[in-house]
Amino acid sequence: MNDDPNKIPADSADQEVSYTGGAPGGIKIIAFKEVKPGDLRKFLAQSNDADTGGGARDLRFRPHDKFAPIFARMFPDVEQGTGRRGKQTVQVDFQVGRVHYPVNGKAVSQRAEYWPPTDARPGEGRWAKVYAYAPFKAAIPEDEGRIIVLLVQNTSNEVWLYIRTEQDIRSGGWHQAVVDAIFNCVDAKRDERRSSQGYIDFERSVRYCNAG
């Protein structure tokens, strides 16, 4: 029997389940993904050589059918861009919004795009060009546990980006039920080569975990 309502049991991984842990004030959605130190180094390398066209550019979320409705609420506008489907060049709808983060004590707002899967990665949506965001360029301690990227939408519909270590999240004043939900998901990881990801939707009182 699972006595912890926020524990991710094995048979509920990859499914939305109810969230009963209470909500931090003023928050609608938290989406999160574990990233490896090597991923951050790739983003930094891409930032330093952004005109090459190669390297790590996007942060991918799987499965797209779970994360697409979440990103549609966080990035609510729709635009069209060019994509490849098979051998055809087609127009593709993608989500657009703004992401906020602090730089030197001041709030910065930057355009954000979430794109649907490509043929090469059919199950993955992608938050595009994350190397261009200052938090992905900052030095993150590699000796403070796992590293988590968080997108937090507040009740003013602003979306804030945080990149935090496990130590910082566990000791940094985050709502304890949120901390438990995030790390219960990360701890349920089935393959160390993969990254856990999920979300907590406080408006709908559900949470989701893809444990990798």
pLDDT tier for residue 114 given thresholds of 50, 70 and 90? very high
- Check residues 86 and 169 and name the one with the higher pLDDT: 169
What predicted TM-score, i.e. pTM, was given to this entire model? 0.87
In the three-class reduction of DSSP (H, G, I as helix; E, B as strand; rest coil), residue 82 is classed as: strand
Angle at 104 between CA 102 and CA 106, to 5 degrees: 50
CA distance 65 to 116: 9
What are the tens digits of pLDDT across the range 28-40? 999 999 998 888 8
What pLDDT score does 142 carry?
Answer: 87
Provide the residue type at 173 as one letter: G
Give 104-120 as a DSSP string. TTEEEEEEEEEEPPPSS
**What percentage of the chain exceeds 90 in pLDDT?**
60
The pLDDT of residue 58 is above 80: yes
Domain positions in the chain: 15-210
Distance, in Å, from the CA atom of 109 to the CA atom of 103, rounded to the nearest integer, reads 10
- The mean of the pLDDT values for the chain is 86
pLDDT at 6: 56
Q: Which amino acid is at 1?
A: M
The tens digit of pLDDT for each residue in 152-206 reads 999 999 999 999 999 999 997 899 999 999 999 999 877 777 889 999 999 999 9
Across 144-156, average pLDDT: 96
Six-digit token string for 46: 């891409």
Among the residues of 51-119, which ranges form H helices? Answer: 64-74
For the domain made up of 15-210, the CATH class stated in words is: mainly beta
Amino acid present at 8: I
Bigger pLDDT: 191 vs 46 = 191
| Residue bearing tokens 């546990």 | 145
CB 206 within 8 A of CB 17: yes
